[in-house]
Amino acid sequence: MNVLREAAVNTLRGSSPYAVDAHGLGVRYSLRFTRKTTVRQSFQHALRRHRGPTEFWALQDVTFRVAQGESLAVIGPNGAGKSTLLQVLAGIIEPSAGTVVIRGKVSSLLTLGAGFDPELTGVDNIVLAGEFMGIDHHEMARRLPGIIEFADIGQFIDAPLRTYSSGMRARLGFSIATAVDPDVLLVDEVLSTGDQVFREKSRRRIEELIAAAKGIVLVTHDMEWVTTFCTRAMLLEKGHTIADGDPAEVVAMHQEHSARSRQEKEAEAARLRLSGVL
């Protein structure tokens, strides 16, 4: 397994047109032990370990590339492995199998308010985020007015984050993540938050990053975002790549699979009701 990031920017940036190059990625979790596992449970599990699986693959054999200037949407049902994939790309999770090469500076917005201190003001959290990302204090101070203007949360910028709504946190987080001029931007289910005006500002900012030959990987359940703002889409189901290509075609496949899954669940529920189980 191998994860290469900003340390290799100088040697990799000119050698490939790809911002992200992943091959055979897999993430495996053990089902045998958890924090809540007791001695009795461990003994019981040992007696019946042959009855079920002892590991779970959240991702398995996932291969893809993101070219410079490309915006890839990763879609799929809950539990498909979408957020796990972004966490691998962000360096939060080390893959159990496969390789991933990231060329350039990575900026990630994976969870609303992730890395924020709820007791600090918006301004203080911007400065704190800059320190976490290794940005020079003077450079962050130069970018501060632009981040505040883009977030557009008014006087709340001087209030503690615990007073913010989820939409305000998303505005601030997106403003910070995209203001640091990343080579690769990772975004997980946050662009659907906020009013129409901010969504339009976010769309324009995404287009600017794409025009500047930046690579973007976006996880979302908002299919309108996928078909409108992304140049490519990848469908994950149960940790496997099902489709990778034109956003409209991949979205149509996802919607078809989702409708079929709902119908199967409804039919099974009806069968159980008739049999008296439910």
Q: What is the pLDDT of residues 142-165, one digit of tens each?
A: 999 999 999 999 999 999 999 998
What is the per-residue pLDDT for 272?
84
What is the per-residue pLDDT for 49?
54
Residue with tokens 């956003």: 247
Residue with tokens 């990053």: 209
Please answer whether residues 273 and 97 qualify as being in contact, where contact means their C-beta atoms are separated by less than 8 angstroms. no
Q: C-alpha angle 200/192/22, rounded to 5°? A: 100
Gap between the Cα atoms of 204 and 198, Å rounded:
10
Please answer whether residues 151 and 171 qualify as being in contact, where contact means their C-beta atoms are separated by less than 8 angstroms. yes
The kind and range of the H/E element at 80 are: none
pTM, whole model, 2 decimals?
0.76
What is the per-residue pLDDT for 237?
97
Residues of the chain with pLDDT under 70: 1-16, 32-53, 111-114, 190-195, 213, 277-278
3-class state of residue 183 by DSSP: coil
Pairing mode of beta strands 215-219, 184-188: parallel
What is the per-residue pLDDT for 146?
94
Note the pLDDT tens digit of each residue in 217-229.
999 888 988 998 8
Gap between the Cα atoms of 228 and 224, Å rounded:
6
